[in-house]
Chains A and B, each alone.
Chain A
Amino acid sequence: MTLTHYLVLSGILFSIGAAAVLLRRNAIIAFMGVELMLNATNLCLVTFSRMHGELTGQVLAFFVMVVAAAEVVVGLAIIVAIFRTRRSASIDDVNLLKS
């Protein structure tokens, strides 16, 4: 099992995440897709770190996790707020800036 497999897995996960963001209407699912893409990137970073024998990629992965955690907090709050006003979590309903 070479390190290349990890990169392939990372690419597959990223594609699944992107497809989820683009194809699903539910905001929560799309959000999960975003998370999946971030984690695929993390996997990629860690793999490259191992390949080059450095820790830079590992450190970067930690940063991504921290940023992702913050993003989840803000994103979920927005989704909850939208759900409260529109009684819907579909992102296609949110196509106007005015309520």
Chain B
Amino acid sequence: MHSLALAATLPAVSPVVNPAGATASGGVWSFAWLVVALPLASAAVLLLLGRRADRWGHWLGVLASTGAFVVGLLAMLEVLGQAASSRVWDLRLGTWIDAGALHLDAGLRFDPLSLTFVLLVTFVGTLIHVYSVAYMEHDTDRRRFFAYLNLFVAAMLLLVLADSFVLLFVGWEGVGLASYLLIGFWNHNTPYAVAAKKAFVANRVGDVGLLVAMGLMFAHFGALDFGTVLADPAAHASEGTLTAIGLMLLLAACGKSAQFPLQSWLGDAMAGPTPVSALIHAATMVTAGVYLIVRSGAIFEAAPSAQLVVVVVGAITLLFGAIVGCAKDDIKKALAASTMSQIGYMVLAAGLGPVGYAFAIFHLVTHGFFKAGMFLGAGSVMHGMDDQVDMRRFGGLARYMKVTWITFMMGWLAILGIPPFSGFFSKDKIIEAAFIPTDGAQWRAWVFGTVALVGAGITAFYMSRLFFMTFEGERRWTTRKDGSEQHPHESPALMTWPMIVLAVGSVGLGLFLALGNRFTGWLEPVTGHVEHEEPVLPAGVLIALTLTVVVVGLVLAWRRYATATVPVVPPLGTALTRAARVDLYQDAVNDAVLVEPGQHLTRSLVYADHAVVDGGVKGVTHATVGLGALLRRLQTGYVRTYAATMLGGLVVLLVVVLAVQS
């Protein structure tokens, strides 16, 4: 294995962002490209074969996803076998764009950050594939569903493995497409199709940000690959330029990760089948924005004002999602609001700089497990309750769906941050990092730390509300569509096993990765080594405070939704509750600020098009037709008239010639 020898001779990797990795060849790297190619090929086969693949298509999808996981695991083991200083590997695939000043190679970068994502996406993805085999069993389009899921996995892997912003953009658009196709999977239902379109449009707004950022990078760096751009951004561009690039990247991240102010699409995206919500709109795709910010960390570190905006956006979204989550009665929409809020935590951590990168990714991984698990649990509940999603119509399900109940409880305790569940290790660290003063600015530590702390309390309240309304209390079930009684039942083993695996992850993954700072150490080649800094309050006090607000939130929810009777018809509630039910008027604001002016603009443009452009064109044609009608009268068809005209003309000609000569 000459790659090993090559790695050994490499100089020690700088502790900050590693600009260029070792060139990967031989061994596992000779087939590492399969990690993207397998799901992509499977998606192509399933889509091209059509109904002929209906009988076995779903198993091919599961197999492709599993294959990608195995390849990813092999790459991970290979990298783990290296010294920490040589854990960045670049796999060159060939020249991609060679146009004038732009020379770009297509390549995959295997480093601890991308490999973390690869394993998260393929592992959780495979579990959700397996779950979907049972969940979508009665859907006639199950094969198409698996084709889209595979397409999503391929695009997401390309996104995280790309070694340049352009290739990342290809994956970025790919996941957007897959998300659109899957939200609108039941597109014969008009509101679902509209929801898919809404997600697509909101994502496009963010994509413009990424395109502008790439344009700025090319103008100032002359290149778009990570190696050149991220090596030392401050040497090539002024702080103002870097701030602009950072803000544009943040816009892209906001679109993809449903952060304020582009967050409105995530709630509606729950129109898709529940496994889609679990995989794309909870565990993986919506975290792509966090990945982008962490990956572009070098740019943000050179632009402190852009970094501050990132933190502010994260803090706003964190509270926004949490408040909305408290008022939603639709179990999936409540979970979506929670996802938004948790990604707010990650974005906040990513904006804190190197001190927060590792914890952002850590929370991303644990969140991927417990949130996907809870979404699958919600799907299982819906499966048993005749597709009911209103939590006011659940209640007392713990006795009927034991596995779902226990696995959901693990996810619930994890998101609450109860030790030793995994959320405790990741979220608590983010709160602690938020309390560390940046550049000696004490106010930032207090403001953002407090927001993160309060957010933890609200999270505890709404997640407990969700859990108690669904599984505890008394039954508030409706009858089935055909009028018979509900008979909630446990889901088949194909559905419960993925939930059990994810629940195990929700319980133990945090502790496993936090022991001996395993995870932060693993990410160090990418995120850089950080000296320990002290928060404004001692860490012990912070943990105690966090646990206190969490327990307060839990007890409040217990008293209102487990011991007291939950009304079946939602009570009027306070002004804040009513606002939170309609997502704090985000749709109304978007309508008033963007949609309606846009519609007026298009209407006036259509009018101008009709009146001016069409009018001009039609005027010319009308004039031509009129002139033709006049000239047509000369063409009588009588030969003698023509002859007389000729003679007349000749006589006139003669007269003129004679007149001129004489």
Interface pair B636/A21, CB less than 8 Å apart: no
A71 within 8 A of B: no
Q: Which of A18, A21, A23, A92 contacts B638 (CB 8 A)?
A: A92
Interface pair B647/A94, CB less than 8 Å apart: no
B600 within 8 A of A: no
Interface membership of chain B positions 619-649, coded 1 if the CB is closer than 8 angstroms to chain A and 0 otherwise = 0000000000000000011111001100100
* Chain A residues with CB below 8 A from B636, complex form: 95
A36 CB to closest chain B CB (Å) equals 14
Nearest B residue (CB) for A25: B640
Interface pair A91/B640, CB less than 8 Å apart: yes
Q: How many angstroms between the C-alpha atoms of A21 and B639 in the bound complex?
A: 10
Q: How many angstroms between the C-alpha atoms of A94 and B643 in the bound complex?
A: 14
B634 CB to closest chain A CB (Å) equals 13
Interface membership of chain A positions 8-32, coded 1 if the CB is closer than 8 angstroms to chain B and 0 otherwise = 0000000000100111000000100
A96 within 8 A of B: yes
Interface pair A95/B643, CB less than 8 Å apart: no
Q: How many angstroms between the C-alpha atoms of A96 and B638 in the bound complex?
A: 9
Interface pair B637/A96, CB less than 8 Å apart: yes
Interface pair B639/A18, CB less than 8 Å apart: no
* Chain B residues with CB below 8 A from A94, complex form: 639
Q: How many angstroms between the C-alpha atoms of A2 and B639 in the bound complex?
A: 38
Interface membership of chain A positions 66-77, coded 1 if the CB is closer than 8 angstroms to chain B and 0 otherwise = 000000000000
Q: Which of B340-381 contact A (CB under 8 A)?
A: none
Nearest B residue (CB) for A96: B637
Q: How many angstroms between the C-alpha atoms of A94 and B644 in the bound complex?
A: 16
Q: How many angstroms between the C-alpha atoms of A22 and B638 in the bound complex?
A: 11
B632 CB to closest chain A CB (Å) equals 14
Q: How many angstroms between the C-alpha atoms of A18 and B637 in the bound complex?
A: 19
Nearest B residue (CB) for A91: B639
Interface pair A95/B637, CB less than 8 Å apart: yes
* Chain B residues with CB below 8 A from A95, complex form: 636-639
* Chain B residues with CB below 8 A from A96, complex form: 637
Q: How many angstroms between the C-alpha atoms of A21 and B638 in the bound complex?
A: 12
A71 CB to closest chain B CB (Å) equals 15
Interface pair B640/A92, CB less than 8 Å apart: yes
Interface membership of chain B positions 376-399, coded 1 if the CB is closer than 8 angstroms to chain A and 0 otherwise = 000000000000000000000000
Q: How many angstroms between the C-alpha atoms of A92 and B637 in the bound complex?
A: 8
A1 CB to closest chain B CB (Å) equals 27
* Chain A residues with CB below 8 A from B639, complex form: 91, 94-95
Interface pair B637/A22, CB less than 8 Å apart: no
Q: Which of A39-83 contact B (CB under 8 A)?
A: none
Q: How many angstroms between the C-alpha atoms of A94 and B636 in the bound complex?
A: 11
Q: Which of A81-99 contact B (CB under 8 A)?
A: 91-92, 94-96
List B residues at the A interface (Cβ < 8 Å). Answer: 636-640, 643-644, 647
Pairs A–B under 8 Å by Cβ, sample size 13: A18-B647, A21-B640, A22-B644, A22-B647, A23-B640, A30-B640, A91-B638, A92-B640, A94-B639, A95-B636, A95-B638, A95-B639, A96-B637
List A residues at the B interface (Cβ < 8 Å). Answer: 18, 21-23, 30, 91-92, 94-96
